[in-house]
Amino acid sequence: MIILGAGPAGLVLGNLLLRGGVDCVVLERADREHVQQRTRAGYLAPETVRILERNGLAEGLRARGREHGVCEFRTEDGRFRLDYRTLGRGEPHTVYPQHELVSDLLAQFIDAGGRIRFGAEAVTVAEADGPDPSVTVREGDGRPGRWRGRYVAACDGRHGAGRRSLPPGAVRRHHRDHGVSWLGLLAEAPPSLDAVGYAIHPRGFAGHMARSTGITRYYLQCERDTAACDAWSDARIWDELDLRMRAAEYGPLLRGRIVRRGVVHLESDVLEPLRHGSLFLVGDAAGLISPSAAKGANLAVLEAEILARALIDALVRGDTVPLAGYSERCLAHIWRAQDFSHWMIGLLHTAAPGPEAASFFQEGLRRSRIAALRGSRTQQDWFAENYVGI
Ligand code: APR
């Protein structure tokens, strides 16, 4: 079994296969340090925690993760809070930085005797439609190599070799560009709120997400033009965050050095089916989801567990029925998460300037959505269930 990519998807899959008695190798383009330091998401759904727990992979997050269950909306009509851990199914998120989770999974995989090749970039997956697929790789020193296995799991993201190797027509791609960009920021600053903060402002969305006692993630809706946002000074970013988070009314944000920034275009896509012969798509390789509801890493872990169990059934017990159902099972979760993320995008962004009637209509819908969330317990329960759910 060959696994491409050592992100959450590839490493959960690798760990579970190893425990289930399936021989596998992970091929990872980057070096170990890079993989362990890449800061990404950090909000784990309760189901993700349960998956990691029942597979003995939750020691680190149990020791260092923090439960989190409140979000605050700041709008033109004032602010309100949702204590979502007391709503819906009564479950919180666990905040645990993704690079720490990846480091834990990597250490556990290696300690258990797992094979991983760093600096090995998969170039193509060949003969995926048959029972004997192979992966050509470029090693760190430029040497070519080839790996053969019964199955290949593409856990190598949206630009990986898995997606690239799909022959035309093998898989349909449903794509949606949400027409919105966020400047994602990592600040060496303590959180300014004891809640996830969502500010809806005529100048654009701003978001606040605590990471640790000294690190906070912020988002600022920005122009599509990346270069323009790159040029913003730290002071300008903080002023803009203060303005959109309405610091004049609710208190200024705690400032610090901006240590990382990058523009994210809010895009979604879903590939269907998630299998081409012996090649399976998992995590970002299977579908891209906008970060508006922090579902990406959670879906990756869920899909990896579903695939691992199905592969163990096929390779150890000779039962290929669960493997045949992999795509359909995952797609049900993926579309659910896409629907909620899409709803969140509509909630958080004022309408882009456009033909007047259309943007008025859009704005009317958004305000009504916020009002319902603020005033209706049923709507709050629905929100809470979907917000933490996958
Ligand atoms: N060959 C080998 N490895 C590759 C290749 C390649 N051609 N291309 C990419 N990779 C590696 C990357 O270096 C990375 O380590 O694949 C890994 C993919 O990891 P992630 O991008 O974390 O993807 P995934 O495991 O699917 O997790 C997805 O995590 O951070 C969240 O929201 C994010 O939705 C995303 C989720």
Q: What are the pLDDT digits (tens) for 255-306?
A: 999 999 999 999 999 999 999 999 999 999 999 998 888 899 999 999 999 9
E strand or H helix at 264: strand 257-272
Ligand 1 atom at minimum distance from 40 CA: 30
377 Cα to the center of ligand 1, angstroms: 38
Retrieve residue 10's tokens: 């590839």
Asked whether 97 lines ligand 1 (CB < 6 A), one says: no
The answer, yes or no, to whether any atom of ligand 1 lies below 6 A from the CB of 184, is no
Task: Say if ligand 1 is within 6 A of residue 133 CB.
Answer: no
Atom of ligand 1 nearest to the CA of 8: 25
CB 71 within 8 A of CB 15: no
Q: Note the pTM of the prediction, 2 decimals.
A: 0.95
291 catalytic? Reply is yes
Which residue in 96, 219, 326, 387 is the catalytic one? 387
Sign of CA dihedral 192, 196, 200, 206: positive
Is 295 part of the annotated catalytic residue set? yes
CA distance 361 to 387: 26
Q: Which of 147, 155, 156 to mutate to test the pocket of ligand 1 (most atoms within 8 A of CB)?
A: 156
The yes-or-no answer to whether 2-42+97-171+273-343 and 178-266+357-385 have a common fold is no
Write down the domain spans for the chain: 2-42+97-171+273-343, 178-266+357-385
Q: Ligand 1: does its nearest atom lie under 6 Å from the Cβ of 292?
A: no
Q: Give tens-digit pLDDT for 163-211.
A: 999 999 999 999 999 999 999 999 999 999 999 999 999 999 999 999 8
Instruction: Give kind and range of the element (H or E) at residue 280.
Output: strand 279-281
Indicate which residue's Cα is closest to atom 20 of ligand 1.
Answer: 7
What is the distance in A from the centroid of ligand 1 to the CA of 158?
A: 8
**Residue among 284, 288, 338 whose CB has most ligand 1 atoms within 8 A, to mutate:** 284
Per DSSP, the residues of 84-138 read GGGSTT---EEE--HHHHHHHHHHHHHHTT-EEETT-EEEEEESTTSSS-EEEEE
CATH class (in words) of the domain with range 2-42+97-171+273-343: alpha beta
| CA 349 / ligand 1 centre spacing (Å) | 28
- And the tokens for 387? 């917000």
* Cβ 88 under 6 angstroms from ligand 1: no
Q: How many angstroms separate the CA atoms of 333 and 221, rounded?
A: 28
Query: In angstroms, what is the span from residue 155 Cα to ligand 1's centroid?
Result: 6
Ligand 1 site, residue 297, Cβ cutoff 6 A:
yes
Residue 63's contacts (CB-CB under 8 Å, 6 or more residues apart) are: none
Q: Which atom of ligand 1 is nearest to the CA of 30?
A: 13
The verdict on the CB of residue 30 being under 6 Å from ligand 1 is: yes
CATH of domain 178-266+357-385: 3.30.9.10
Set 201, 295, 333, 349: catalytic member = 295
Q: How far is the CA of 38 from the centre of ligand 1 (A)?
A: 10
With a cut of 70, list the residues of the chain below it in pLDDT: 226, 228, 352-355
Q: Is residue 198 annotated as a catalytic residue, yes or no?
A: yes
